[in-house]
């Protein structure tokens, strides 16, 4: 019997509503044991700004550092559009990612059989799709220096962003990719632009060398990132884990996301390096969607992305593979039974609310056990 510590940060807008679904699942797990979760909740984003003038406090950061995993809802909304840039709601999330050194961003794209018709691609191309995009999150062109716009005279300006990667940054994300692949179908496709970018040449070299250093059981292939984008919409089921940098990962993960239909269905995880002593990684789990102020407070948001993010926590932070499988199967069962929130309901179908969807998933968990 082990008790794990979770920090729940529901945030703003629909964040607290969809987090309700996670609370229900945790309640179900705790009632059954043997392992249980001790839950602490705190403020982040606009809610934290309203309370104490910062989008995340040092005390909350301390709790996040100490927790076994952070479960994050969403932040932001028009109410905080005019607050100073460094305390805007999103700054709380960026500080969490930076201070916890969450360099590996996992974006699964799973098509539940009952929703295969909702994809913009043909049903046969996406039915049963289960791929994972692993994006490097703390390096590359979004952070490289120099990053500036300078006046070069004659009415001209020059904008510079710097794509920069060091060996260690590529090596640690490559290791994460190979280890994740071992828990799946055992295949990694690394994507870069080595034909035109030096960072792509180094990326390719380091991924290849890391693979040779103890991961030969995993199949490694390489693809140019632009060709990868084409293949994602031509034949997405050919992939298992796609490993890529921050910039290409940003784009490719959004492309893959849309293969699956709705924003309300997409979970994500961000992981740090394994601790040298305990082997445990710092981790934050969050839905891909934002705070959806347009539908907040109406009990109509889809909690599935949030609950599926918690299932990722069970899988990647707590090695509770069986429980993670069961939560995902419960989501699939509820969808197969025709239950839909408004965002995934077909025209004319009756939709259920956020609370009811959470209850239905817990009922399906109970029924299957
Ligand atoms: P959004 O993801 O909040 O919403 C986009 C659209 O999708 C909206 O129409 C919304 O109603 C719908 N939607 C989103 N999640 C849904 C769900 N679970 N169920 C049903 N429908 C859902 O993106 P946006 O409107 O561009 O941004 C709103 C706010 O959220 C902004 O302040 C933005 O900065 C913030 N944001 C935060 C995060 C985050 O916390 N990680 C991510 C993206 C956007």
Return the pLDDT at 86: 86
What's the pLDDT band for 279 if we cut at 50, 70, 90? confident
pTM over 0.85: yes
Which atom of ligand 1 has the smallest separation from the CA of 77? 32
CA of 135 to the centre of ligand 1 (A): 21
Average pLDDT, the chain: 95
What's the pLDDT band for 60 if we cut at 50, 70, 90? very high
- Helices then strands, counting H and E runs in the chain, come out as 12, 12
Give the mutation target among 289, 308, 356 for probing the ligand 1 site: most ligand atoms within 8 A of CB: 289
Per-residue pLDDT for 166 more than 90? yes
Per-residue pLDDT for 237 more than 80? yes
Return the pLDDT at 310: 98
Max distance between CA atoms of the chain, in angstroms, equals 72
The CATH architecture annotation of domain 1-103+272-369 reads 3-Layer(aba) Sandwich (3.40)
- How do the domains of the chain map onto residue ranges? 1-103+272-369, 111-261
Burial group, residue 140, by CB count within 10 angstroms (0-12, 13-18, 19+): buried
What's the pLDDT band for 200 if we cut at 50, 70, 90? very high
What's the pLDDT band for 347 if we cut at 50, 70, 90? confident
Per-residue pLDDT for 261 more than 80? no
CA of 224 to the centre of ligand 1 (A): 31
CA of 274 to the centre of ligand 1 (A): 31
Return the pLDDT at 52: 96
Residue nearest ligand 1's atom 30 by CA: 290
What's the pLDDT band for 2 if we cut at 50, 70, 90? very high
Q: Do domains 1-103+272-369 and 111-261 have the same CATH topology?
A: yes
Return the CATH class of domain 111-261: alpha beta
CA separation for the pair 256, 103 (Å, rounded): 20
Average pLDDT over residues 273-295: 93
Prior bond of 350 cis (ω within 30°): no
Ligand 1 lined by 308 (C-beta under 6 Å): no
Neighbours of 142 (CB within 10 A): 15
pLDDT digits (tens, 9 = 90+) for 118-131: 788 999 999 989 99
Task: Report the side by side order of strands in the sheet with 130-136.
Answer: 36-41, 3-11, 69-74, 281-287, 267-274, 104-110, 130-136, 241-244, 187-192, 219-224
Average pLDDT over residues 78-104: 94
The catalytic residues are: 142, 193, 226, 250, 254
């Amino acid at each position: 019997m082990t008790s794990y510590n979770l920090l729940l940060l529901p945030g703003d807008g629909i964040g607290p509503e969809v987090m309700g679904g996670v609370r229900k699942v945790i309640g179900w797990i705790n009632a059954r044991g043997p392992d249980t979760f001790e839950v602490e909740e705190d403020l982040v984003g606009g809610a934290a700004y309203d309370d104490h003038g910062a989008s995340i406090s040092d005390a909350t950061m301390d709790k996040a550092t100490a927790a076994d995993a952070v479960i994050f809802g969403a932040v932001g909304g028009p109410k905080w559009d005019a607050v100073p840039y460094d305390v805007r709601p999103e700054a709380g999330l960026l500080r969490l990612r930076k201070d916890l050194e969450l360099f590996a961003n996992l974006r699964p794209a799973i098509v539940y059989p009952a929703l295969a018709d909702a994809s913009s691609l043909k049903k046969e191309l996406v039915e049963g799709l289960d791929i994972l995009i692993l994006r490097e999150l703390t390096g590359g062109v979004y952070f490289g220096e120099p990053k500036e716009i300078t006046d070069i005279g004659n009415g001209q300006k020059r904008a510079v962003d710097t794509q920069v990667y060091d060996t260690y940054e590529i090596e640690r994300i490559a290791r994460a990719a190979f280890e994740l692949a071992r828990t799946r179908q055992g295949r990694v496709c690394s994507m870069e632009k080595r034909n035109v970018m030096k960072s792509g040449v180094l990326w390719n070299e380091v991924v290849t060398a890391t693979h040779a250093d103890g991961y030969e059981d995993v199949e490694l292939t390489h693809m140019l990132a632009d060709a990868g984008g084409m293949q994602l919409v031509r034949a997405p089921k050919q992939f298992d884990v796609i490993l890529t940098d921050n910039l290409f990962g940003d784009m490719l993960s959004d492309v893959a996301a849309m293969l699956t239909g709705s924003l309300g269905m997409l979970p994500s995880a961000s992981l740090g390096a394994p601790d040298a002593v305990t082997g445990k990684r710092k981790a934050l789990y969050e839905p891909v969607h934002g705070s959806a102020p347009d539908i907040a407070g109406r009990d109509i948001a889809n909690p599935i992305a949030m609950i599926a993010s918690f299932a990722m926590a069970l899988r990647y932070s707590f090695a509770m593979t069986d429980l993670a499988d069961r939560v995902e199967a419960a989501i699939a069962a509820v969808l197969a039974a025709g239950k839909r929130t408004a965002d995934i309901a077909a025209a004319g179908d009756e939709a259920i609310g956020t609370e009811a969807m959470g209850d239905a998933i817990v009922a399906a968990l109970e029924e299957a056990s």
